[in-house]
Amino acid sequence: MVKPALLVLAAGMGSRYGSLKQMDGVGPANEAILDYSVYDAIRAGFGKVVFVIRHSFADEFREVFNAQRFGHRIEVEYAFQELDSLPEGFTVPEGRVKPWGTNHAILMAAEKIHEPFAVVNADDFYGADAFRTIADHLRTLGGSRNAYCMVAYDLEKTLSENGTVSRGVCTVDRDGYLEGMVERTQIERLADGRIVFHDGGADETLAPDTPVSMNLFGFTPDYFDYSADYFRTFLRENGSNLKAECYIPSMVNKLIHDGTVRLRVLRSDAQWFGVTYKEDKPSLMSALKRMVAEGIYPANLWA
């Protein structure tokens, strides 16, 4: 049985935070969030991890996140996302400094991945159960085409106590397949316990168990071909917009609405953690210490 690959989107970290936040220590032995993703992926049976990074911090990144660090327990490869990584016939417009988005980042790994694969953000903590859930499903796909999946989280497990968040709210049919995702912004829990979003002007309530996307998707390799075609269309229509980005949910929504693919929505009991605000870091560190005490993780992942 073919082992799935893990694709880690890490190219945007340096520009977004002014430093390589994905290297910031949060674990008891100074592990980064990314260490926990790789550790959980190894335990779940992934056979390879591909990091999408940029040349500007490649040496620094490779020095830390390499096969030696992970005890040679998983194959490690790198792909590079740059502004000029464009199809033939397209050029970077003058003044463009913003990256081309998460779906463009996926395209950069097309030559590295030939098996079913999962996609994660470098700076999100997804939880061991989420990796097991998506790995178990990807292993069933074999040589399938157009059979995608995602792990959806209960909205209440993805909130920050320190400010509002944006989430992709999912609509799921009765058979467990995704009908579409809508980005909701300024989501927060109010003092009365209600979870609301404000992007429509008025407070609109969301149920605590509303399924949301945290960019934990599973694809078969045909996704690269669809994405290449879609990115060319994106560039023709939006290339002159210096802030436009090509995102994974936009690609997924298009494929579903066109009837090209079906995407199974998997549910997990995992608790998501992130560092949207600097004040979120102590909460994450406390949670990791608790998980170590409960035996979910060792005190030193790579000892």
Model pLDDT for residues 95-137, shown as the tens digit of each residue: 999 889 999 999 999 999 999 999 999 989 999 999 999 999 9
Model pLDDT for residues 138-162, shown as the tens digit of each residue: 999 988 899 999 999 999 999 998 8
Tell whether the model's pLDDT for residue 176 goes beyond 60.
Answer: yes
Q: 138 lies in a domain?
A: yes
Q: 283 lies in a domain?
A: yes
The residue ranking higher by pLDDT, 185 or 254, is 254
Separation of alpha carbons 229 and 197, rounded Å? 34
Tell whether the model's pLDDT for residue 19 goes beyond 60.
Answer: no
pTM check: above 0.75: yes
Model pLDDT for residues 204-247, shown as the tens digit of each residue: 899 999 999 999 999 999 999 999 999 999 999 999 999 999 99
Count up the domains in the chain and report the number: 1
Mean pLDDT estimate for the chain: 92
> Angle CA(177)–CA(183)–CA(184) in degrees, nearest 5?
120
The residue ranking higher by pLDDT, 48 or 143, is 48
Parent domain of 72: 5-293
Q: 298 lies in a domain?
A: no
Rg (CA), the chain: 19
Q: What is the CATH number of the domain that holds 77?
A: 3.90.550.10
Q: 303 lies in a domain?
A: no
- Give 230-233's long-range contacts (Cβ < 8 A, gap of 24+): 230/103, 230/254, 231/87, 231/100, 231/103, 231/104, 231/107, 232/87, 232/90
Q: 87 lies in a domain?
A: yes
Tell whether the model's pLDDT for residue 72 goes beyond 90.
Answer: no
Give the list of residues 6+ apart from residue 191 with CB closer than 8 angstroms, or none: none
Sign of CA dihedral 189, 190, 194, 200: negative
- At residue 185, the pLDDT reads 87
Q: 301 lies in a domain?
A: no
Tell whether the model's pLDDT for residue 184 goes beyond 70.
Answer: yes
**Residue 303 has which token pair?**
């000892």
Q: 302 lies in a domain?
A: no
Tell whether the model's pLDDT for residue 15 goes beyond 50.
Answer: no
Mean pLDDT of 77-82: 96
Reported confidence tier of residue 16, pLDDT bands at 50, 70, 90: very low
Tell whether the model's pLDDT for residue 40 goes beyond 80.
Answer: yes
Q: 182 lies in a domain?
A: yes
